[in-house]
Amino acid sequence: MLIEERIPIIKSHIEKKVTSQVNEWLVLIRSTAKDIGQTAIGYAALARQRDEETLACQRKAEEQSCSGLEDFPYTLDVEEIDEDSVLKFDLTPLHRAYHIHTCLGIPEKFRDYYYKNRLLQLSSDLQISSTQPFLESHQTFLAQIAGYFIVEDRVLRTAGGLLLASQVETMWETAVAKVISVLEEQFSHMDTASHILLVKDYVTLLGATLRQYGYEVGSILEILNHSREKYHELLLTECRQQIINILANDTCEQMVMKKESDYQTNVLMFHLQTSDIMPAFPYIAPFSSMVPNCCRIVRSFIKDSVSYLSYGGQMNFFDYVKKYLDRLLIDVLNEVILNTIYSGTTGVSQAMQIAANIAVLERACDFFLQNAAQQCGIPIRSVGRPQASLTSKVVLKTSRDAAYLALLNLVNCKLDEFMALTENVNWTPDDPAPSAHEYINEVVIYLDTLMSTAQQILPLDALYKVGSGALEHISNSIFEAFLSDSVKRFNANAVMGINNDLKTLESFADERFHSTGLSEIYKGGSFRGYLIELRQLINLLLSSQPENFMNPVIRQRNYNSLDYKKVATICDKFKDSPDGLFGSLSSRGAKPNSRKKSMDVLKRRLRDFN
């Protein structure tokens, strides 16, 4: 009877003793959970690094194979890791306690005790530090959670029913909800892209770690997609400031590369070369330092974009990278360049260099796309298809045209300084000038310098636009001078002087069109065609029978560029005495009075027509 009375006391003593040991184990396992989690996440990081190195070797082999080079050998070394042997923690006290409680006939009591205490510990682990910034504490926070659930997985698998799968699932759902809440809150407050990336990387490693233990981590990784847009907005903002600084500090002078290593890092690195032949050094590039510096920013942006999108919820993220790359090139690079052009602080040489730079950057878009594909593990050959091209390449072409227009506006302003026809031309001289006016010689010297510089750095199509635009502006300026209110009248001697100017321009236009190689591309075209309106006007004013302008056939053949109203206004200003007007034209073989009469007829008919 005495023994029977003491049995409950003994059982109570045993239960208290075992529970005390379990409590000590619970304290110990919680304190070591962080180390367990960090170790497991560390192995996940090593596994990821091995995968990345293997993919890099594979990509290199594929590229060399596509280039026709010998196969690049690579090996795939897989190191199997036994997680249970690596992550050593002792469950013996727990197993023993559960066994003893089972022997005492109260296993349910212990199961309930263990589950409630672990829930309390989980609740405590899910509280983030209020005294330490999340950026500094996130690894500890997430490692603690990883360690907690690694332990619970081991308990579930080895403790013989101590823990139920449904209980682990409940704990996991609690943890997932809290982690998602914390990440959403913390991401919303971050204002630096690199900070978001740092947290994101550790979250994906947490996911990779716990996925191995059968936990569903999709909803945690999905939260990263919610912050994808904010991350890239911050990244674009940072890149914008960097590009603004680059353009502000750019001297707009052609880069000089003194050695092969400079050429490698500034030209070959971004596929900016126009020939496969290594140039002689020192090499003068057609672009300024802005181009390779911007290329480095774009390449870094691609790398950072891929880093964020990798190992997240989506499998194929190349389209996302391409989308954000387009935004960088269109909304940032393109916009900053155009703002620089339209700021009005650039001169002709600077505007020309910027236009040349845009042309090179437009070419570099192919490299950017290939680099993005390579970073995403996409075969480079697949991005050669039209549907894979960057929208920004088209936009940069449009910007290039805008840059050419801005350049031409600056050139035209400079030409206007040289010309100032109402000041430089005597519109009623007593004798015809023996040669071109002095202003036209200055204009030709300027055009010669302009075209020589443009030929060095601009594509041929841009060279054609610069040359044709400048000549057309000169032609229009001279034509408008005839119409100007400041020119009340002019005589034949003035027309003959302008004819000398025009001949000088035509000679220059023909020489440049052929010497630059443009005649080989624009067959049947010429620079002379942009002087045609002025040429037809001069021919009409010097014609022996100007009234033929009213003949539809002759007008279509010889004067098709001239407008009736403009001709009428100009002819009204064309006034000479009979001797003064036609004495100088006697070599043309017609009687002076007949020429004057023909001009008078033209004037009358133009008045009647209008």
- Once rounded to an integer, what is the mean pLDDT over residues 62-80? 48
Question: Is pLDDT larger for residue 587 or for residue 464?
Answer: 464
- Does position 6 have pLDDT exceeding 90, yes or no? no
| Cα distances (angstroms) measured from residue 16 to each of 11, 19, 167 | 9, 5, 25
Confidence band, pLDDT 50/70/90 cuts, at residue 107: confident
Q: Which two tokens stand for residue 392?
A: 């920004």
Neighbours of 118 (CB within 10 A): 21
Q: Write the DSSP string, 450-463.
A: HHHHHHHHS-HHHH
The DSSP secondary-structure symbol of 254 reads -
Distance CA 313, CA 227 (A): 12
For residue 16, the model assigns a pLDDT of 79
- Does position 214 have pLDDT exceeding 90, yes or no? yes
Q: Convert the pLDDT of each residue in 330-341 to its tens digit.
A: 999 989 988 888
Lowest-confidence region among 158-172, 309-323, 437-451, 581-595: 581-595
For residue 283, the model assigns a pLDDT of 93
- Once rounded to an integer, what is the mean pLDDT over residues 284-288? 93
Closest CA to 498 of 427, 448, 572, 442: 427
Confidence band, pLDDT 50/70/90 cuts, at residue 89: confident
For residue 542, the model assigns a pLDDT of 93
Q: In percent, how much of the chain has pLDDT > 90?
A: 57
Lowest-confidence region among 5-9, 34-38, 127-131, 215-219: 5-9
For residue 550, the model assigns a pLDDT of 92
Q: Convert the pLDDT of each residue in 454-503 to its tens digit.
A: 999 998 888 999 999 999 999 999 999 999 988 899 999 999 999 999 99
455, 463 contact by CB (below 8 A): yes
| Cα distances (angstroms) measured from residue 14 to each of 1, 9, 160 | 20, 9, 21
Long-range (24+ apart) CB contacts under 8 A made by 213-220 are 213/149, 213/150, 213/153, 214/153, 215/149, 215/153, 215/172, 216/172, 218/313, 219/176, 219/180, 220/176, 220/179, 220/180, 220/183
For residue 161, the model assigns a pLDDT of 87
Confidence band, pLDDT 50/70/90 cuts, at residue 181: very high
- Does position 7 have pLDDT exceeding 70, yes or no? no
Distance CA 120, CA 306 (A): 39
For residue 589, the model assigns a pLDDT of 46
Residue 166: Cβ-neighbour burial (10 angstroms; 0-12, 13-18, 19+): exposed
Confidence band, pLDDT 50/70/90 cuts, at residue 582: very low
Lowest-confidence region among 66-75, 244-253, 257-266, 508-517: 66-75
Q: Convert the pLDDT of each residue in 234-284 to its tens digit.
A: 999 999 999 999 999 998 899 999 999 999 999 999 999 888 889 999 999
For residue 444, the model assigns a pLDDT of 94
For residue 328, the model assigns a pLDDT of 95
**One-letter amino acid of 450:** L
Confidence band, pLDDT 50/70/90 cuts, at residue 610: low
257, 263 contact by CB (below 8 A): yes
111, 175 contact by CB (below 8 A): no
Q: Write the DSSP string, 470-535.
A: HHHHHHHHHHHHHH-TT---B-HHHHHHHHHHHHHHHHHHHHHHHHTTHHHHSTT--SGGGGHHHH
pTM of structure:
0.80
Who contacts 353 (Cβ-Cβ below 8 Å, separation ≥6)?
252, 253, 254, 287, 288, 457
- Once rounded to an integer, what is the mean pLDDT over residues 362-389? 79
For residue 378, the model assigns a pLDDT of 81
Rounded to the nearest 10°, the torsion over CA 120, 123, 129, 130 is -100
Confidence band, pLDDT 50/70/90 cuts, at residue 585: very low
For residue 187, the model assigns a pLDDT of 94
Q: Convert the pLDDT of each residue in 522-552 to its tens digit.
A: 877 789 999 999 999 999 999 989 999 999 9
Lowest-confidence region among 1-10, 101-110, 390-399: 1-10
- Does position 577 have pLDDT exceeding 80, yes or no? no
44, 205 contact by CB (below 8 A): yes
For residue 423, the model assigns a pLDDT of 73
